[in-house]
Amino acid sequence: MAYNFKRQIFGFMDMLRFVKLVPKRREIFAETPATPLPASYKVNETAKFLHPGKQFVKIDKITEHSSDVKTFVFVPDGEKTARLAPFRAGQYITVTANVGASRVTRAYTLGSSPKDALERNFYSVTVKAAGILSDYLCTQAKVGDVLEISEPSGDFCYEPLRDKKNVVAVAGGVGITSLLSMAKAAHEGSEDYDMTFFYCVPSAKEILFKDELDAMVGDRFKVVYVVEKGDLPGCEKGLFSSDLVKKYAKVPFTLFMCGPDGMYAFVRKEIECFSPEIKDVHASPNGIADRKVEEKKTFKLTVKMRDKVYEVPCRNDETLLVAMERAGITAPSKCRAGGCGVCRSKLLSGEYTAAPGRDKRRLADFKFGWIHPCCVYPDSDVSLDVPQG
Ligand code: FES
């Protein structure tokens, strides 16, 4: 009885409130100026700045290190892009360009520092002439050319909650850029760690950015040149080793590596002696190369993309993504290393082999037949549905 009475009282009060609500709203509408809402809000502008998707850049400067290695400085083109997106040291961008009849994409790690983007509005990447797009950049691209690039991506970055305060960085050959960016970030104070940097090269003439590295040496940054053959004053001769780590670095540390896949296996073996203390090891993912095959074959690759169907040849030593790009199909891609999922496509039929250690699909994708064409080689004719193309 009391409960019912309470309900009636509250119901009555709600009705009274509602009756007052309508004139109150009318009052607010009458007082509101008849001006349109803003086209964009601060929060949308910030989101767009942080994640622009595509960016358009002009080549501002090209530095030639050798006949096949060049560093490119990119600035905004000033028309479609005014400010470059900020990034974290260790991240990469993808560059997309038309090369002949193909539209190709390639990922390059950023060698400039986060502050260079934020305060000086430029990125730099270092390119070795190997592969369609890298060859094109090294031989044909010139100052003033405009390129389409992606926003920065990647998780090869220092994480203060996960990683130790001491970082051991091991770089091999041209694969120095992401670690160079991390070294600059530590030196500039935008990231908080101490770095011991082992730069391993076959001979002294292959050392890149020596002046920049030497200029950063101080309390927080140490560089050790490890030269296999030849001589360089003050360098360590031979190969990277656990003894060098004991000599120069503080333990415990987190290891970051950037170089060829063979170097990763070698370095992992060398630091085994620090186990179990050292378990944080991060390797910058490399692009996926052609595979070695005993007998070269060419299969038919059928690609369904939006309302079109393409039939293109695909060699058994190249990935499905490379075959599509070679045939001029604009297939989506980003990391080109099996990890980001941007190229994710539905396998309709066919046999394939994924590049060892590169297949980072979700379990559900394994189960329901989705693949990452950037890391898959054909073993028969293959049919694909590419949903994001
Ligand atoms: S492009 Fe990143 S997984 Fe294929």
Does the beta carbon of 343 lie inside 6 Å of ligand 1? yes
**Ligand 1 centroid, distance to 375 Cα (angstroms):** 8
Residue 341 Cβ < 6 Å to ligand 1: yes
Distance 314 CA to ligand 1 centre (A): 18
CA 360 to ligand 1: nearest atom: 3
C-alpha distances (whole Å) from 364 to each of 155, 342, 356, 367, 382 are 22, 16, 19, 5, 21
pLDDT value for 13 = 84
DSSP per-residue letters across 15-58: HHHHHHHHHHHHHHHHHS--PPPPSS-HHHHHHHHH--SEEEEE
pLDDT of 289 over the 60 cut: yes
| pLDDT digits 0-9 by tens, 69-98 | 999 999 999 999 999 999 999 999 999 998
- Regarding the beta carbon of 339 and ligand 1, being less than 6 Å apart is answered yes
Q: Which of 108, 333, 384 to mutate to test the pocket of ligand 1 (most atoms within 8 A of CB)?
A: 333
CA dihedral 240→242→243→245, nearest 10 degrees, is 80
Q: Which residue has the tokens 């059928």?
A: 302
* Measured CA distances, 126 to 65, 329, 346 (Å): 9, 26, 34
Atom of ligand 1 nearest to the CA of 372: 4
pLDDT at 224: 96
Which atom in ligand 1 lies closest to the alpha carbon of residue 375?
Answer: 4
Q: What is the mean pLDDT of the chain?
A: 91
At 232, list the tokens: 């360089």
| Distance of alpha carbon 92 from alpha carbon 283, whole angstroms | 14
**Distance between Cα 95 and ligand 1 center (Å):** 14
The answer, as to whether pTM is greater than 0.75, is yes
Ligand 1 proximity of 336 Cβ (cutoff 6 Å): yes
User: Please, where are the H alpha helices in 106-206?
Assistant: 114-120, 132-139, 177-188
Nearest to 73 by CA among 134, 156, 145: 145
What confidence score (pLDDT) does residue 3 get? 65
User: Above pLDDT 90, what percent of the chain?
Assistant: 67
Q: Is the CB of 285 under 6 A from ligand 1?
A: no
175-196: pLDDT as tens digits:
799 999 999 999 998 999 999 9
- Check whether 234 has a pLDDT greater than 90: no
Mean pLDDT of 113-142: 94
Residue 202 above 60 pLDDT? yes
How far does residue 142's CA lie from ligand 1's centre (Å)? 28
Q: Using a 6 Å cutoff on CB, does residue 374 contact ligand 1?
A: yes
Write down the pLDDT at residue 34. 85
Q: Is the pLDDT of residue 389 over 70?
A: no
| Cα(128) to centroid(ligand 1), Å | 21
Which domains are present in the chain?
50-150 (2.40.30.10), 166-283 (3.40.50.80), 298-386 (3.10.20.30)
Per-residue pLDDT band for 154 (boundaries 50, 70, 90) equals: very high
E strand or H helix at 246: helix 242-248
Q: Provide mean pLDDT across the span 282-299.
A: 89
Cα(167)–Cα(88) distance, integer angstroms: 16
338 lines ligand 1 (CB under 6 A): yes
The Å distance, Cα 377 to ligand 1 centre, comes to 14
Average pLDDT, stretch 101-115?
Answer: 90
**Per-residue model confidence (pLDDT) at position 38:** 86
125 lines ligand 1 (CB under 6 A): no
* Whole-number pLDDT of residue 193: 96
Ligand 1 centroid vs 359 CA: distance in angstroms?
10
Confidence (pLDDT) at 2: 64
Cα angle vertex 119, ends 118, 125, to 5°?
Answer: 60
Answer whether 106 contacts ligand 1 (Cβ < 6 A).
Answer: no
How high is the pLDDT of residue 9? 80
Check residue 356 and give its pLDDT.
Answer: 87
CB atoms within 10 A of CB 271: 21
pLDDT given at position 1: 58
Q: Is the CB of 324 under 6 A from ligand 1?
A: no
Beta strands 54-66 and 166-172 are unpaired
Confidence band, pLDDT 50/70/90 cuts, at residue 212: very high
pLDDT at 40: 86
